[in-house]
Structure 1
């Protein structure tokens, strides 16, 4: 069957009744972590909320005042996942998140238009596509698209938009001879009901379940951002349609203004200015690294002049693993226990414990625990990352005490 959202893609509200309500679970990613939400799957007599399919994400919206978190298709039915149950038989007002829906309509119809013209103009077939949150991608069956072809394709696409060409929906029976003449990547195994055809007048007829604009003029504009290398000798074409182009232009302009303020140059000189900055930073980093190495050697040599050589500790805010290892290499760690740290005094940092193997093996895990860190050791070296250097003083006291005990035992 065709849902109401497929019969009228512009309908924003709709009254229908609840057919069933069953317990369900929804797996979602929240702040980078996967969570399982318990709720209910609601089947309706009909719906204006599009269930995910055909490369198009699902709609969001409301059943009454209950938010719909996900819509999926199960054979001829749409399952609406909600957190609260609804009574079977009750009437509900369905509302669609229109901004999300219209964005999907623009991107999806834009994909159909680009796909059709890329095939007509250059013979490049579309093998798949993805409607992303910020940009969309069409996979073309060609190893590359030349810059001139990209420009020609974009000009032709926007020319069709300016021509306000109608986009029509046809519903055909599966045995209708006209079905054989339309573009298609095949039907899903659980498909039921008539075949839905999206017909861009005089340009393309394509089998599709998604929601679309009724006229190419509603796409407003399409911008082809460029191409990326795809899988198996294919090319990914990146594009934006409609309001996404306006958002992209606004974001780009705000970025440009920020760069003008930071770089003190006009937009046309930004690349050259950043290039100069990068070269300056590399030179400074190289100079700084050389100074740190020289400092490490001097620190180690200064310690060698100290008559008390059983324990050495040192902390520096600036530094890295190489800085600590140079110091340790310059000191005879077969006789001396060395504890070094770099980073914020009470924040995260790096540490190195070096010395007699049996002593390092014994004390390494205790140091790790006090610094709330992660690390490992072998051959008289134990090093890693510290989540907090706040207890560095406790580590020093513990190591000094152990060295004193060791000296007493040897005497």
Structure 2
């Protein structure tokens, strides 16, 4: 069965009936971590919310006032995941997130157009495609696509858009002679019933389950951003269609305007200005490293000149690095002393080095690492790593001072 969204991709509301409602769960990603949400899987008599398929992501919308968080395909049905239960047999109003839907229509129809033109001009077959959040990608079965070929594909695509060519959806049966004439990467193994054809008049006829524009003019424009080496001797073509092109232009203009303000040069000179800045930064970084090494040596000489050195040498330097700490440890020596060195932000993240007698470092290195909420490892009398809570440095130093008040004998 074709869903209402496939019969009319421009519908934004649909009054329909709840067929079933059963408890379910959905894994969502929040802050880089996956969380399980408990809710309900709703099946409707019909829907305007497209389930994920054919390279196109699923729609978002509402069932009455309840947000639909995911739409998936289960056989010939669409399953809507929501947080609230609905009674079977009840009438509900389904509304769509039109902004998301129309974007998907523009990208999907844009893909069909580019795919057809790449094939007709150069015989480049499309083997897969991906509709991403920022841009979309078409995988072409060719090892290379030249700049001239990419420009030709883009120019012809935009010419077809200007020609106001209709895009029609029709259905044919598997035994129809036309079945073998339309473009396809193959039907799903479990497919039964009629086949849906998306026809760009005079340009392309392709089997597809997705939602599409009714006329190429709705694509507005297509921009091929780049091509890159893909898997298995293939090429990935990166593109934007419709509103995404306008958004990218607006974003790039803001970036260009900001760079002009910071660099004090016109857009044509930005690359040259940034190149000069990079060279200056590299020179400054090199000078800074030299100064840090010199500073490390001076710190060691100052320490060695003291008559009462103690058994624990503790130092924090915000601008230091790993090499800075190792120079100090190498110059001072750690046979009968304990060194606790840290670099980085005093309140957040940084690096640390604990050096001293091997048996002591092996025992207390992990403890210091735990206090500072870090990860590290050690051997041969040194334990070092990265930490997230440099604000607890004082706590770690206090523990070390108590334990190693008399190096070699003191313990807890």
TM-score (norm 1): 0.95
Change (3 A) 1:369 1:251: same
C-alpha deviation, 1:312, in angstroms = 2.1
TM-score (norm 2): 0.95
- Give, in whole Å, the separation in 1 of the partners of 2:364 and 2:20: 64
Q: Deviations over 1:274-333 (max 9, x none)?
A: 000000000000000011111111211222222234332222121011101101101121
- Quote the residue 1:74 is aligned against: 74
Matches within 5 A, 1:251-400: 251-309=251-309, 310-400=311-401
Whether contact under 8 Å (1:52, 1:71) holds in the other structure is: yes
SS at match of 2:366: helix
Whether contact under 8 Å (2:313, 2:337) holds in the other structure is: yes
C-alpha deviation, 1:349, in angstroms = 2.3
Whether contact under 8 Å (1:76, 1:191) holds in the other structure is: no
SS at match of 1:405: coil
Whether contact under 8 Å (1:2, 1:194) holds in the other structure is: no
C-alpha deviation, 1:154, in angstroms = 0.8
- Quote the residue 2:49 is aligned against: 49
Task: Give the root-mean-square deviation of aligned CA atoms.
Answer: 1.7
Q: Deviations over 1:40-76 (max 9, x none)?
A: 2212111111111111111111111121111111222
- Give, in whole Å, the separation in 2 of the partners of 1:367 and 1:59: 50
Give the aligned length: 409
Whether contact under 8 Å (1:318, 1:342) holds in the other structure is: yes
C-alpha deviation, 1:267, in angstroms = 0.3
Gaps of at least 5 residues in structure 1 are none
SS at match of 2:224: strand
SS at match of 1:392: helix
- Give, in whole Å, the separation in 1 of the partners of 2:66 and 2:408: 73
Q: Deviations over 1:155-182 (max 9, x none)?
A: 1000000000111111111111111110
SS at match of 1:209: coil
Whether contact under 8 Å (1:2, 1:193) holds in the other structure is: no
C-alpha deviation, 1:27, in angstroms = 1.6
Moved more, 341-350 or 103-112: 341-350
Gaps of at least 5 residues in structure 2 are none
- Quote the residue 1:236 is aligned against: 236
C-alpha deviation, 1:240, in angstroms = 0.6
- Give, in whole Å, the separation in 1 of the partners of 2:293 and 2:159: 63
- Quote the residue 2:40 is aligned against: 40
Task: Determine whether 1:225 maps to 2:225.
Answer: yes
